[in-house]
Chains A and B, each alone.
Chain A
Amino acid sequence: MIPPLSGSARDAASSPAPHRTPGPPPALAPGSSADPPSRAGKGCRLGALHKGERAVVTGLDESAVATPLPPGELERRMIEMGLIEGARVEILHEGFPGADPLAVRINDHTLALRRAEAHAVLVTLG
């Protein structure tokens, strides 16, 4: 039952993602408008960000990431941990060596994840 389901879930996730992007819910704006970085508004991946940068999640695309998980699984786990379209993220800390893993503030909580997997998260800076 899982393979066909996750296949369709994946399609559903990667294609319509940009459409439901812009409406971040009204309740989440904890001091987000302060000092926007210079690259504001530009689309990129969470894995490319550095300490102090802020962004809004616009979609998930796990095809960019090598993972031992079945298709669609990484996306579902990320959603369960709060990485979902509209979530505000900020890179709080970087690990050592190689500035990896990342400690990312997501709305009200903090998540540790590796750069490699963070490349599955599409974001808009600012």
Chain B
Amino acid sequence: MTDTILSTPAFMGVPPRIALVGNPNCGKTALFNALTGARQKVANYPGVTVERKIGEFLSPAGTRVQIVDLPGTYSLRARSPDEEVTRDVVLGRFQHEAPPDVMVCVADATNLRLHLRLVLELKKLGRPIILALNMMDVAEARGCRVDAAALSAALGVPVVPTVAVRRTGVVGLLNQIDRSMGAMAADLAPSPGGSPNGSPCGWSEPSAHDLRAYHREVESILAAALRDAGKPSLATRRIDAALLHPAIGLPFLFLVLFLMFQAVFAWAAVPMDMIDKGLGWVQAAAGAALPDGLLKSLLTDGIIAGVGSVVIFLPQILVLFFFILMLESTGYMARAAFLLDRLMGGVGLHGRAFIPLLSSFACAVPGIMAARTIENRADRLATIMIAPLMTCSARLPVYTLIIAAFVPDRTVAGGMIGLQGLVMFTLYAAGILSALAAAFVLKRTIFKGAREPLLMELPSYRLPSPRDMLLGLLERARIFLARAGTVIFAIMILLWFLGSFPAAPDGASGPAIDHSFAGMLGHALAPLLAPIGFTWQIAIALVPGMAAREVAVAALGTVYALSETGDALSGSLAGVLAADWSLPTALSLLAWFVFAPQCVSTLSVVKRETNSWFWMLVMIAYMTALAYGAAFVTFRVSSALLGG
């Protein structure tokens, strides 16, 4: 690095880059939101699947600054793939990304010990650091007084007090970022031969002895800067006394999860109805405006019906993510892992596996990625293998459709519980129980070995900030709609093509789709699926359903919209299905989707995360076998019981 000046981003027109580093639960993401607002995007790091959050802001000096939110860590001694990303980025080892110019280390002012140890480790890197002393409001409320000036003097690092959730102190932080970048440029100017950004990297993996030395240094810094240690949160302690109570804790957790699934239905009903009506209107308008022909068929039957039948599930997905974000930001998620550690231990899983598994209810892809926080490879693989058994939101459309068609909308238990919600809960429970059973078998056969130790911080409870919740939800909505707009859109067009060509010969009997490529494919698969009660329309829908599970519904919509004529076209899909399928067929399809053949994105993430084709193939084989077996048993038993 001899041409330092030229390679310094500020001189190249590349925006200077800032990395946010800190322990988990320090309010790092809230600070990221406060700095960037909605100007942020989520992508994956190339080659790995850790989510990379990047944002931009304009500093008071008018510089456009790029900011990266790195995964939280307690140490640069990375123990999990997530933490490896943080380590590699700050060390500049990451191939695809230049090291940050300035690191903003975020620390929870109420809990400085662990955070300051990380700051000392980061200082060894020899890059400019700013310490954002976050959650100052909570610290003050607890009588904890930190002397920021003394802390800065003792640490040798600029310190800025902030309250990220209220965006207090952000201006001070921005000014400090400008000063640090200015100092960095000034440092470089007189000594072009020196290493970039000041002193060279002096970090090496600390031994237990080094870690103790860091802690002693932290204690002497705190002795100088901590005027009053304050009292630990009494509210958190009292709430935990109830929520972690041996008798109350688990029932309460299950109640929370049950309410969550009821809410997914109840809260989403109205917006879904509105989207449905809106789509119907658009479809009718497009139908009236266009002349009969291929274009009209493509637009109304292919694109609007197909993409629309997926977009309609946006409200449910948002409600689900709302709950997951709530559980995460209040601090209850860690409690859930605490409560379940013993039970999960019964099947050999780590309590921390709860978080990936719960995320898998939204989508198995982030769930499998969240398994990165599990350090032990065997534990991690076991968690990855069962994560897709958790009912992801992409299965919701299928469940909803079939339940709406076959389960009457009434209440049981004195009007307290909706029957449809109860069936949904049963399906979720079936997924969970089979996941536990699968884990039990896996941990006793393939993934033998002692469990990874549990060392997990239980953060203080806090009220989530509406702004951060909203940004989190927007991010999820954006990802979902982007999927609907790209992958699903493309598949819908392909499916429409398969369903429309070749056209039925003149004078042919039966619906046109019978003669198309899709019809041929469906009929070819039908004998294979007949023992489990699937019709050829289902067989057609399952093929694109491999790309994304929710596409199966859209595909059914297309298949039926194209194969029915007259009144059936205007009737809802649920009505069509209720008339066309027997109850055992519907139950069999539900059972199939509990164990569903995974979507392609899940499989590709499994391949990337395990770095092996083998585990991906194992997953396909075992889940397809489970799905076929479960659907077979369901179909045969229910046929026998119903006399069908």
Contact = CB atoms under 8 A, between A and B. Distances in A.
Interface of A: 2, 5-6, 8-10, 12-13, 25-31, 60, 66-69, 72, 74-82, 84-86, 92-101, 103, 105, 107-114, 116-117
A109 B114 contact: yes
Contacts of A80: 74-75, 77, 114, 117, 211
Contacts of B273: none
A65 B217 CA distance: 29
B232 A74 contact: no
Contact of B246 (A67, A96, A117): A96
B111 interface: yes
B509 interface: no
A81 B247 contact: no
B208 A79 contact: yes
Interface string B427-458: 00000000000000000000001111111111
B341 interface: yes
Interface stretch (B222-230, B303-311, B520-528): B222-230
Interface in B222-259: 222-223, 226, 229-232, 236-237, 240-241, 244-247, 249-250
Contact of A117 (B237, B334, B453): B453
Interface string B203-216: 00111110110010
Contacts, number: 155
B351 A101 contact: yes
Contacts of B74: 80-81
A95 B211 contact: no
Nearest to A95: B342
B212, B241, B338, B351 — most chain A CB neighbours (10 Å): B212
Interface in B294-348: 334, 337-339, 341-342
Given A5-B207, A6-B207, A92-B240, A81 B457 contact: yes
Nearest to A74: B453
A75 B208 contact: yes
Interface residues of B, number: 58
A61 B205 CA distance: 21
Nearest to B241: A93
A24 B75 CA distance: 23
Nearest to B230: A30
B453 A113 contact: yes
Contacts of B212: 13, 79, 84-85
A8 B236 CA distance: 40
Contacts of B460: 110
B252 to A, nearest CB: 12
| Residue picked from A69, A77, A95, most chain B C-beta under 10 Å | A95
B455 A110 contact: no
Residue among B205, B208, B215, B451 with most chain A CB within 10 A: B208
Given A68-B378, A68-B452, 16 more contacts: A5-B207, A6-B208, A9-B207, A30-B229, A31-B231, A72-B208, A74-B453, A76-B207, A96-B339, A97-B342, A100-B341, A101-B454, A110-B236, A110-B457, A110-B458, A114-B454
